Amino acid sequence: MTTKEFLQQLITNPEQLSNLVEEAIEMAFQQGFLFRTCETPNSSEVVTYAPFTLFPSAVPKARLVQALEVQTHFNTLVDKISQDPDFLEEALASTIQADDFTARLVSIYRQVQQEGQTQSIVVGLNRSDYMVEQSMDGTSSLKQVEINTIAAAGFGVLDRLPEVHRHILRTTGLLKESECVQDTNMTPAMAAALAKAWEVYGQKKAVILFLVEDVQISQLTQRYSEIELWNRNIPVIRRKFEEVSRRGSLDGDKRLFIFLNQKMRLFITQNSYIGTQLAGTKKIQQVLASPGVLEKFFPDQPQVVEQIRATGLYTLDMGPEGDQTVAMALTNPHKFVLKPQREGGGNNYYGEDIVQVLQKFKNDQRRAAYILMDKIQPRTEQNIPLRKGLPPRLTTVSYEIGVFGAYVRYEGEMILNEALGPVLRTKSIEHDDAGVVRGVAMFDSPLVV
Tell me the pLDDT tens digit for each residue of 271-320.
557 899 999 999 999 999 999 999 999 999 999 999 999 989 999 999 99
| Domain parsing of the chain, residue ranges | 3-448
Q: Grade residue 124 by pLDDT with cuts at 50, 70 and 90.
A: very high
In the annotated binding site for ATP, the residues are: 146, 282, 339-348, 350, 373-376, 400, 425, 427, 433
In the annotated binding site, the residues are: 127, 146, 148, 282, 339-348, 350, 373-376, 400, 425, 427, 433
In the annotated binding site for Mg(2+), the residues are: 146, 148, 343
Give Cα separations from 171 to 120, 159, 174, 293 (angstroms). 51, 20, 7, 51
pLDDT in tens, 8-41: 899 899 999 999 999 999 999 999 998 888 888 8
Answer whether 75's CB lies under 8 Å from 417's CB.
yes
The pLDDT value recorded for residue 344 is 67
In the annotated binding site for substrate, the residues are: 127
pLDDT for residue 263 is more than 60: no
Cβ neighbours for 401, distance < 8 A, ≥ 6 positions apart: 59, 63, 64, 67, 129, 130, 131, 132, 142, 422, 423, 424, 446
Answer whether 144's CB lies under 8 Å from 310's CB.
yes
pTM, two decimals, is 0.91
Give Cα separations from 414 to 208, 252, 404 (angstroms). 20, 29, 17
